Amino acid sequence: MRTITRTIVRTFVLLLVMTVLMAAGQREQVSEESNEVTVWIMQPGSATLQTMLERFTEEFEAEYDASVNLVFQPWGTAHDAFTTAIATGDVPDVAEMGTTWTPEFGAIGAFAPQEIDDLSQFIEAVLESGAPEGIPLGVPWYAGARALIYNRTVFDELGLSAPENWEDLIVAGQTIRAETDMYAFSVVGAGANHFVLPKVWQAGGEIAVQQADGSWEATINSPEGVAAFEFYVSMFTEYGFAPAGALNWTVADAQTAFRNGDLAMFLGLGPNYGVVTRDNDAFEVGVALMPAGPSGRRDTFAGGSHLVRFAGSRNPDLAQAYIDFLVQDERIAEFASEVGFFPGTVEGIEAMDLNEVQTVFAEMLLNHSRSYPPNAAWGRFEGAQLFTSAVQRMMQGSVDAQTALNEVAREMNQGFAQ
């Protein structure tokens, strides 16, 4: 009995010592490994894209005799993953970052500045969103801008042409509602951000303006902002262009309704166009420039992503080499065209052999795209559902535009001041 006890105790102590030594050694092993980087890329929507990224990574590993730990992060949980990684200090070396997240995490010093020789090569709006203090923290990887996607078959049958401006949009929508069983336009509530905020620009207003001292001030509650929100919500409450449930719709719901032939128009990106046209013989799909607002502007949000190098990277040189490798012209063009977006550079887009549809999306990106204020607080505004809550309350009829936007502006200014 005594022997058994002694053996158990010795085994336990041995295991304990081994565990401690292994834990200590593991950290040492990581720090000594000089040719390994961890890369977080957003989960691509298709197996083809995932295979392509894996192929790029294998090519990089072969060229640099390096080891890349490529991790695909789902978009839905990526923000939480980045927050947790930064809080615990266990960050990847390189990551793909949503354009509105770059200023948010960049403001706390999470990313290393990017040394870019020729800033003019990049699409201004995409570069601007990654440079909160004028210093680029992310390299634009791919980009895209929304355009009007419409059911061309229905438009042709009704003798309609794609709406050029807000008035045309209302007329076309009323005709569709009167002549068909379809809903006219995607007035979504839950996913309203990228649909309603650009309307402020189209109305001739600004969401927020930067002061001479670098601080930001919300101007979303200006008459133009109010007109933009009122116009957007009126398509739901007054004209009935979308079903009641659209109050909680996201763009995915609008896309499904469009594909099912229940909705005649929605605002989407290249990938959305790809989804609604794939294996769709039921009707023809057209793409047009965003209808212009009263100011004559067609501005829309420049979406896409940056590649960032974390300041806490254990292998900064190799991490930077991976970013440079991914954004080389041939790879970026191959990746962007497969995903339905465009390269983040003007030259990259101009070098593409664009078809009729891509030409419309490219024009939106090159000539009509803008970024939201590149401020650290922006991510918090989106996280608090500041803008979508205002839209949904207006759609519920529980608040008027001016009151809702005054509250939004107050919250924004508090956020900017932090």
Q: How crowded is the C-beta side of 323, counted as CA atoms within 13 Å? A: 29
Piece in contact with another protein (CB under 8 A), picked from 47-55, 114-122, 247-255, 276-284: 247-255
Q: What is the DSSP string of 337-375?
A: HHHT-EESBHHHHHTS---HHHHHHHHHHHHHEE-----
Piece in contact with another protein (CB under 8 A), picked from 21-29, 107-115, 193-201, 344-352: 107-115
Residue 406 engages another protein in binding (rule: CB under 8 A) = no
> Under 8 Å CB-to-CB from 59, ≥6 apart: which residues?
325
> Please, which residue, 100 or 369, has the CB nearer to another protein?
100
> Please, which residue, 365 or 391, has the CB nearer to another protein?
391
Residue 223 engages another protein in binding (rule: CB under 8 A) = no
C-alpha distances in angstroms, 124 versus 60, 118, 199, 303? 28, 12, 20, 12
> Please, which residue, 275 or 326, has the CB nearer to another protein?
275
Looking at residue 417, the DSSP 8-state letter turns out to be: H
Residue 152 engages another protein in binding (rule: CB under 8 A) = no
Residue 26 burial (CB count, 10 A): 10
> Please, which residue, 19 or 67, has the CB nearer to another protein?
19
| The binder of another protein chosen from 73, 79, 139, 233 (CB under 8 A) | 79
Interaction residues for another protein, span 173-212 (CB under 8 A): 189-190
CB 173 within 8 A of CB 185: yes
| The binder of another protein chosen from 45, 113, 243, 316 (CB under 8 A) | 243
Residue 88 engages another protein in binding (rule: CB under 8 A) = yes
> Please, which residue, 58 or 80, has the CB nearer to another protein?
80
Residue 260 engages another protein in binding (rule: CB under 8 A) = yes
Q: For the CB of residue 128, give the shortest distance to another protein in the complex, in Å.
A: 23
Residue 5 engages another protein in binding (rule: CB under 8 A) = yes
Q: What DSSP element (H or E) covers 37?
A: strand 36-42
Piece in contact with another protein (CB under 8 A), picked from 158-166, 242-250, 317-325, 357-365: 242-250
Q: Determine the size of the site formed for another protein (CB under 8 A).
A: 40
Interaction residues for another protein, span 38-57 (CB under 8 A): none
> Please, which residue, 290 or 404, has the CB nearer to another protein?
404
Interaction mask 114-143, another protein, x per CB under 8 A: ------------------------------
C-alpha distances in angstroms, 1 versus 10, 26, 42? 14, 37, 58
> Please, which residue, 137 or 339, has the CB nearer to another protein?
137
C-alpha distances in angstroms, 94 versus 33, 122, 137, 318? 16, 20, 12, 10
| CA–CA dist 196, 34 (Å, integer) | 47
| The binder of another protein chosen from 14, 20, 21, 109 (CB under 8 A) | 109
| CA–CA dist 411, 145 (Å, integer) | 27
| The binder of another protein chosen from 277, 380, 402, 403 (CB under 8 A) | 380
Piece in contact with another protein (CB under 8 A), picked from 41-49, 81-89, 152-160, 227-235: 81-89
| CA–CA dist 110, 91 (Å, integer) | 9
Piece in contact with another protein (CB under 8 A), picked from 145-153, 169-177, 366-374, 378-386: 378-386
Alpha-helical (H) ranges within 65-121 are: 75-88, 101-106
Q: What DSSP element (H or E) covers 331?
A: helix 329-339
The bridge status of strand 36-42 relative to strand 67-73 is parallel
| CA–CA dist 264, 160 (Å, integer) | 12
Residue 155 burial (CB count, 10 A): 22
Residue 385 engages another protein in binding (rule: CB under 8 A) = yes
> How distant is the alpha carbon of residue 235 from its chain centre?
25
Residue 244 engages another protein in binding (rule: CB under 8 A) = yes
Looking at residue 121, the DSSP 8-state letter turns out to be: G
Quote the strand ranges of 193-314, DSSP E.
Answer: 208-210, 216-218, 263-268, 285-288, 300-309
Interaction residues for another protein, span 12-41 (CB under 8 A): 12
> Please, which residue, 57 or 392, has the CB nearer to another protein?
392
Q: For the CB of residue 301, give the shortest distance to another protein in the complex, in Å.
A: 19
Using DSSP's 3-state secondary structure scheme, residue 378 falls into helix
> Please, which residue, 102 or 358, has the CB nearer to another protein?
102
> Please, which residue, 373 or 415, has the CB nearer to another protein?
415
Please report, as ranges, the residues that interact with another protein according to CB under 8 A: 5, 9, 12, 79-80, 83, 86-89, 105, 107-110, 189-190, 243-245, 247-248, 253, 256-257, 260, 262, 379-380, 382-385, 388-390, 392-393, 395-396
